[in-house]
Amino acid sequence: MTNEKRKKLWQGVTAIAIMLLILVIDQWIKIEVKTTMTLYEKHEVTSWFYIYFIENNGMAFGMSFINKTLLSLFRLAAIIVIAVYLFRQVMKGARWVFVILLAMLWAGAAGNLIDCVFYGVCFTQSSPHYVAYAVPVGEGYSTWLNGRVVDMFYFPLIVTEFPEWVPWYGGRQFIFFSPIFNFADAAVSCSVIAALLFCRKEIGEIALTKERSNTDIDHEA
């Protein structure tokens, strides 16, 4: 086996291992939180870190601006595109850091897709008054593709108030960093930020390829 083939093999094995590890950790945390905590229950780990159980219908960090079924289908399409692109990068012998970051991105997207696809049909409704539990498939609180994403990590690093002289917001509470997120969100965010910092060449090649494709389309038209 040549060094190039050996590199491709180990990159593929490493990527799969990273994806499985992130998925297992993400789902273990989510299931543990969902089946042991009531909705909006909060546990203080430190003064700036809480386990705070919420659910959301939207994208990372609780954002929501499109239909839930469409969002789930978009996630499914995204993980297919990322998987194909990751495979191609491995086959062309891309840099290790880029392969690892793509694996993290895929796993994060897939982790939240699992919630959307399965949680609605496999768990009861979460509530502030009781703890949810697993049920036979199809007897859950919603339908396929419409499950809610479980979030739990809350980092209120700074909790203060806006000065009274600040227009419109004077005297109101200010929290830095207020989003509540999960392990999958963290994998996506960290991989994207790291790629922007350390994989500019690869990102530039993606942009160049897209530009060439648009140019070819314009010429054909």
Q: Which of 161, 138, 132 is nearest to 54 (CA)?
A: 132
Is residue 122 within 8 Å of residue 152, measured between CB atoms? Answer: no
H-helix or E-strand containing 83? helix 68-91
Compute and round to an integer the Cα radius of gyration of the chain. 21
**25 backbone dihedrals φ, ψ, rounded to 5°:** -65, -45
Catalytic entry in 26, 115, 185, 218: 185
Told to judge if 115 belongs to the known catalytic residues of this protein, a careful annotator would answer: no
Told to judge if 26 belongs to the known catalytic residues of this protein, a careful annotator would answer: no
**165 backbone dihedrals φ, ψ, rounded to 5°:** -80, -10
Partners of 154 in the beta sheet? Answer: 50, 180
**Helix axes of 3-36 and 183-198: crossing angle, nearest 10 degrees:** 150
Residues with a catalytic annotation lie at: 151, 185
